[in-house]
């Protein structure tokens, strides 16, 4: 299936001389949820701004559903909805007027019933006559989303949608994103909350210093890079790890009461079962055993550490 | 035909409507204040000075200053309406939406300049109506009166749009109107005929573009002008063309809009 968004060889050097993107290549599949992860200043917003036509790229090409974003900008842009990182709304307009304005701006005929549905879905209907300036931060964020959805985009960019948003609203947003996906909308979100990518995304891209360093299916990524850890709570503290167990590279906690074994799914390190046997053979007794998968967050931190 | 490449009239309408709505929201500021200031001009200039200068070119002083007063407001309001309309979204950041929308530069200009010009034309007509309460008015060439009104409003709205795009701060936004436009308008023959000036000043005045606007506009009222009407019209069109050229250049280069 052809990708709905294709970015190839895109670089951006700002007027200050700073190069924010270096030869970025990225293809987004139709209907997927793609999470773009990266530290502050990595170039996430710059990349999104280029695709949406807010920032001019220095080189490279971008096509949206086959439409070049310059030659065929009307067709390309009318497919895209953008919820930017910053809360920027005309404070003196009413919610209703603002959202209808957005719809008109994107060339869609007035459709009060649809706009009403968008506002209801985002729990903004009872605020429809309120001026934007009287809304709380979370409501403003939802208003920005309503504006982006008002023109029925096929691709939705969410640039850190849940920054500064409380837990309940965050859940609502995830729910909304899933509903949109069911309707066939492609969603690209940036986030610093790794659990968000973990909970939502089909694929994850990691960008650092203007370069995409990894794009991978989330499950794939977890399997490939994911590590498991087993922690044994000891009955009696140890002074050091017995020599007979050195090939496990165990970590002993400073107080000597916990042994941690780290192994990944693919490595040829011996399995947990053999470790438990060897522990018992060495006369080490434990109260409890605990195993866990490493999260995307740990994977992410490791990745960035590997590529300075 | 590729329908998606068709002009986005809905966007033009959406922007235009929001701009007009802003005027209605601030109706006090947009309408009442010019009415009050025009009335004050009449009290001060019309009555106080008018009692000494009774007639210019056979027109009562009160009536003589009406076209100039309208032009004064038309110029300053067109510039401030249009410059603010485009500067404000730049300032709060909501311009992202305009830049990401399937709208051409031409459509953006038509919508914003159209909105600003409409507002100042309405304003000009309100001042005209207010003035008619103070002095008996006559309009000899109503067609040309409207033509000058519209041409000037459009030209200076374009000019304001340019300032709004160029400005990086509120100070800069007000700099050009304050330092250039206001002096030029006051020295443009709103309150006197340039024939009343001593020789050298009269020559200098002819370099002031506003003189031509006011003179042409006044001619449409009373059939009398400081400079010939053809030249007035020509100068207005030259200024309009210059503004269009600058706007076209801004958009070709993305100047100060897209990084
Ligand atoms: N207008 C600009 N002029 C010059 N440099 C810029 C401009 N905008 C962004 N940058 C620089 O480009 C780099 C990438 O910025 P960008 O906003 O894309 O990062 P980001 O990944 O979105 O970061 P964050 O997670 O903090 O939002 C940063 O170093 C930033 O300082
Ligand atoms: Mg960002």
- Distance, in Å, from the CA atom of B257 to the CA atom of B166, rounded to the nearest integer, reads 9
Q: Do the chains contact at B92 and A88, CB–CB below 8 Å?
A: yes
Pick the CATH number of A227-306 from 3.40.50.11740, 3.40.50.2000, 3.40.50.1100, 3.30.70.1560: 3.30.70.1560
Q: Which atom of ligand 1 is nearest to the CA of A55?
A: 1
> How many Å from the N-terminal Cα to the C-terminal Cα in chain A?
35
Task: For residue B247, give the nearest of B168, B155, B179, B180 by alpha carbon.
Answer: B155
Cα-based distances in Å from A88 to A152, B97, B256: 20, 9, 18
- DSSP H or E segment with residue A288: strand A286-293
Q: Residue B94 and residue A90: Cβ atoms within 8 Å?
A: yes
**Structure confidence at residue A225 (pLDDT):** 66
Q: Which CATH class is domain A3-223?
A: alpha beta
Residue with tokens 């837990």: A167
In the sheet that holds A203-208, the strands lie side by side as A80-83, A155-159, A186-191, A33-37, A203-208, A211-217
Looking up tokens 């603010």, which residue turns up? B84
The two most distant CA atoms of chain B are separated, in Å, by 68
Distance from C-alpha of A10 to C-alpha of A249, rounded to nearest angstrom: 44
Minimal CA separation from B92 to chain A, in Å: 6
Burial string for A63-78 (b: 16+ CB within 10 Å, else e) reads: bbbebebeebbbbbbb
User: What per-residue confidence (pLDDT) applies to A21?
Assistant: 96
Residue B1: predicted pLDDT: 37
Tokens of A297: 């967050």
Q: What is the pLDDT of residues B183-192, one digit of tens each?
A: 888 788 777 7
Radius of gyration (C-alpha) of chain B in whole angstroms: 19
Task: Give the span between the Cα atoms of A49 and A85, in whole angstroms.
Answer: 11
Cβ pair A54, B101 in contact under 8 A: no
A92–B25: do the CB atoms touch at under 8 Å?
yes
Of B10, B15, B17, the CB nearest to A109: B10
pLDDT score of A4: 95
What local confidence, expressed as pLDDT, does residue A84 receive?
94
**Cα distance between the two ends of chain B:** 32
Distance from chain centroid for Cα A233: 35
From the list A55, A78, A101, the residue facing B4 with the nearest CB is A78
Kindly report the nearest CA distance between residue A165 and chain B, in angstroms: 20
Per-domain residue ranges of chain A: 3-223, 227-306
Q: What is the pLDDT of residue A119?
A: 95
**Mean pLDDT of successive 10-residue segments in chain B (259 residues)?**
68 93 78 80 72 73 85 89 92 91 93 95 90 84 93 95 92 86 81 78 82 90 84 90 92 76
The pLDDT assigned to A263 comes to 78
Is B97's CB within 8 Å of A147's CB? Answer: yes
Q: Which bound ligand lies closest to the C-alpha atom of A12? A: 1
> Do the beta carbons of residue A32 and residue A186 sit within 8 Å?
yes
Question: Could you count the other beta carbons within 10 Å of the beta carbon of residue B84?
Answer: 19
| Whether the model pTM is above 0.95 | no
> Along chain A (308 residues), what's the average pLDDT of each consecutive run of 10 residues?
90 94 96 92 95 94 95 95 89 90 95 96 93 89 94 96 80 88 94 80 92 88 73 87 83 88 69 82 86 70 68
Chain B positions in Cβ-Cβ contact with residue A109 (cut-off 8 Å): 10
């Amino acid at each position: 299936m052809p990708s709905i968004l294709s970015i190839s060889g895109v670089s951006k050097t700002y007027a200050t001389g700073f190069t924010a993107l270096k030869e970025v290549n990225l293809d987004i599949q139709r209907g997927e949820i793609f999470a773009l992860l990266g530290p502050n200043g990595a170039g996430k917003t710059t990349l999104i701004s280029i695709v949406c036509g807010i920032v001019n790229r220095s080189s490279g090409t971008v096509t949206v559903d086959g439409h070049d974003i310059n030659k065929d900008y009307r067709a390309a842009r009318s497919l895209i909805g953008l919820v930017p990182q910053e809360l920027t709304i005309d404070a003196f307009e009413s919610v209703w007027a603002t959202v209808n304005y957005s719809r008109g701006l994107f060339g869609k005929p007035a459709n009060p019933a649809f706009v009403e549905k968008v506002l209801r879905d985002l729990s903004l209907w009872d605020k429809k006559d309120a001026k934007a300036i009287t809304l709380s931060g979370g409501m403003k964020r939802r208003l920005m989303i309503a504006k982006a959805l008002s023109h029925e985009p096929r691709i939705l960019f969410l640039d850190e949608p849940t920054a500064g948003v409380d837990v309940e609203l965050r859940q609502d947003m995830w729910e909304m994103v899933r509903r949109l996906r069911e309707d066939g909308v492609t969603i690209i979100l940036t986030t610093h909350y790794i659990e968000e990518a973990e909970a939502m995304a089909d694929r994850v891209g990691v960008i650092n210093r203007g370069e995409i360093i990894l794009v991978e299916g989330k499950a794939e990524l977890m399997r490939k890079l994911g590590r498991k850890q087993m922690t044994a709570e000891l009955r009696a503290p140890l002074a050091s790890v017995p020599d007979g167990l050195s090939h496990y590279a165990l970590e002993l906690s400073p107080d000597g009461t916990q042994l941690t074994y780290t192994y990944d799914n693919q490595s040829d390190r011996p399995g947990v079962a053999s470790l438990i046997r060897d522990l018992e053979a060495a006369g080490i007794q434990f109260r409890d055993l605990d195993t866990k998968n490493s999260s995307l967050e740990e994977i992410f931190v490791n990745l960035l550490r590997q590529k300075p | 035909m590729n329908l998606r490449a068709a002009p986005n009239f809905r966007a033009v309408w959406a922007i235009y409507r929001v701009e007009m709505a802003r005027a209605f929201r601030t109706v006090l500021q947009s309408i009442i204040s010019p009415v009050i200031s025009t009335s004050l001009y009449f009290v001060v200039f019309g009555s106080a000075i008018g009692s000494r200068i009774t007639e210019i070119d056979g027109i009562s002083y009160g009536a003589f200053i009406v076209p100039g007063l309208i032009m004064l407001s038309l110029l300053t309001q067109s510039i401030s309406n249009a410059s603010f309309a485009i500067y404000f979204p730049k300032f709060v950041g909501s311009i992202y939406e305009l830049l990401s929308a399937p709208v051409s530069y031409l459509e953006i200009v038509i919508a914003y300049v159209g909105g600003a010009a409409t507002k100042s034309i309405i304003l000009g007509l309100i001042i005209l109506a207010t003035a008619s309460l103070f002095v008996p008015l006559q309009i000899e060439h109503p067609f040309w009166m409207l033509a000058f009104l519209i041409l000037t409003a459009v030209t200076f709205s374009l000019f304001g749009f340019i300032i709004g795009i160029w400005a990086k701060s509120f100070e800069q936004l007000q700099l050009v109107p304050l330092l250039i436009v206001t002096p030029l308008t006051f020295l443009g023959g709103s309150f006197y005929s340039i024939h009343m000036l001593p020789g050298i000043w009269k020559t200098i005045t002819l370099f002031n573009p506003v003189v031509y606007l006011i003179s042409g506009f006044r001619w449409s009222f009373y059939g009398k002008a400081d400079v010939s009407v053809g030249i007035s019209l020509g100068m207005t069109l030259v200024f309009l063309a210059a503004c269009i050229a600058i706007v076209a250049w801004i958009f070709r280069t993305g100047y100060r809009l897209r990084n």
